[in-house]
Every structure is written in structure tokens, then in C-alpha cells.
Amino acid sequence: MSIFKGAGVAIATPFNTDGSVNYDEFGRLIDFQIEHGTDAIIVCGTTGESATMTEEEHMEVVKYCIDKVAKRVPVVAGAGSNCTETAVKLSKAAQQDGADGILSVTPYYNKATQGGLVAHFTEIAKAVDIPIILYNVPSRTGTNIQPETAVKLCKEVDNIVAIKDATGNMSQTSKMMQLADGCIDLYSGEDGIIVPLMSIGGIGVISVLSNIAPQQTHDICAKALEGNFAEAAQLQLKALPLVDALFCEVNPIPVKAALNMMGFNAGSLRLPLTEMTAEGKEKLAKAMREYGLIK
């Protein structure tokens, strides 16, 4: 059973000027997402700057999001770590607080073997009963879940059910889907190739773009889920200049700048991430105007 189909937003975490979480604005962002068609909210992922949160803060943000959403859409909690024990702790807390699923990234820096990945994710899955989405983003973690490994996990571990694929490697992803024979729910982890991944069996996206264009991202997925790939492709292509601008600097630098341009108070970023350059802001603002998000 899929956790969700369509566009799930990898939601940004707004900060106050002192660096603390701005919960009032976070609530506003959550409501904006739900009111504009988002199919799920993914909290404390890469875009949410989970890497610079303490464990306690991470758990507080997840709980706040779950409570604020109040079952209006599914909430998937980022709960990954390069330490298996920490990932288990975060996953248990998310389940206890009512998360509908877990997003679990590959261990970073220590670069586990494929056997180590199987052991890591299996240990997490044993600790919780809710569904788990594997997160494969080798450009950030230095570790790639091979197709055979993903399929093994989804076939042998009951609550490992899906993968967020941010490899950008269509050949690898196609091989995984061929080997899976329907056992893996595939979510695109890249906004620029939502439709291509859905054309080989994907059921949606975990999206940065959705932070500023939730209805439009939902519509791309909805058209593809209907089998209307011609219209889905048109919407995908229209969004590409904006997607390019959202990734012209390291995510989530541009998306937080974009939210601020739209009148939200997303605040700044925690070091080592820094404010967007003037050149980047100019490119982003131009793309947003052309897409109709700002004047």
C-alpha cells in the first residue's frame, strides 16, 4: 500500500533571526501546502536542513509537523543518519508521534557496503511498524543503493516499501524497476525528471519545487498518474527553467530565498549553508516571474 501518490513536498524549515525554528511560520507553510494541493509532507529531509539539527530539535520539528497537519495529508518523517542507532531512535520517535512513514537516507561519510546497507535498513525496519522509503542520493552521501540491493530490501523486509531516487541515473533506475517487478514504490527525488521516472512506473515525487509551486507540481503528477503523459510532459517542461534556478546553488539555499521572495518568512540558513548570491537571486527571481509566482 503506497504511503501517498503524487507530489510530496520536502518542506523547508523556517528559522528565526537567532537561528531557532520559527514554528509560527512553519505552521503557515504547512497550511499553504495543504491548501494548494500537496499530496504529502516530508519533514526534516535535506531541504528541511535536518543535517544541522540536534536530535531533540529534529524530533520536536517532526512532532510539530504531525500535530499541525492533523491527518489532512500523510506526513513522512526524515529519520536517517549515518549511525544506525541514531536512525533507529529517530524512527521510533516519529512512529510514536504519529508519522505515516519514514524517509531513511543512506549512511553518509562512512560509506557502507551494499551488505552494510542491507543490515542498516533492516535494523531500522525491525524497530518500527510504519512504512519506510529508502532515500538514494549518492551525490550527497557518497553511497549508492544498487538496484539489486533496493529490490532485496523491498522483497525481504515487509515495511520497506519505496525508494526516493535522486541518482539522476535513468538507466540504473530502469534496471531497478525491471528487477522489482512491482515490489517498489518509486518516487522521483529530482524535480527535473518527474515525468520520465513516472513513465517507468513511478508514483510521484518528493519535491523541492513543491515548496513554492505545490499545485503545479501536484498537477504534473496527477496528469502522469492519469496516463496523460503528453500533458504531464508539457507541465514538466514549463517548470524546467524554475527547477534549474532552484538548483543553481546548493539546496535549500535557493528555495528559502524563493519563499522569502513570495512573502513568507523562511529566514536564513544554518552554517555551513550561506545566503544566496546576488547573481543567483537575480536568476531565481527571473524564473519565478516567468512562471507567475511573483511580479
**Active site positions, annotated:** 135, 164
Q: How many residues does the chain have?
A: 295
Q: d(Cα 113, Cα 290) in Å, to the nearest integer?
A: 45
Q: What are phi and psi of 145, to 5 degrees?
A: -80, 110
Angle at alpha carbon of residue 191, lines to 114 and 134, rounded to 5°: 25
User: Which runs of consecutive H residues, i.e. helices, occur in the chain?
Assistant: 23-35, 55-69, 84-97, 114-127, 138-141, 147-156, 170-180, 194-199, 214-225, 229-246, 253-261, 278-291
DSSP conformational letter for 210: G
Q: d(Cα 177, Cα 27) in Å, to the nearest integer?
A: 37
Q: d(Cα 92, Cα 86) in Å, to the nearest integer?
A: 10
Give me Rg for the CA atoms of the chain.
Answer: 18
Query: Cell triple for residue 258?
Result: 524563493
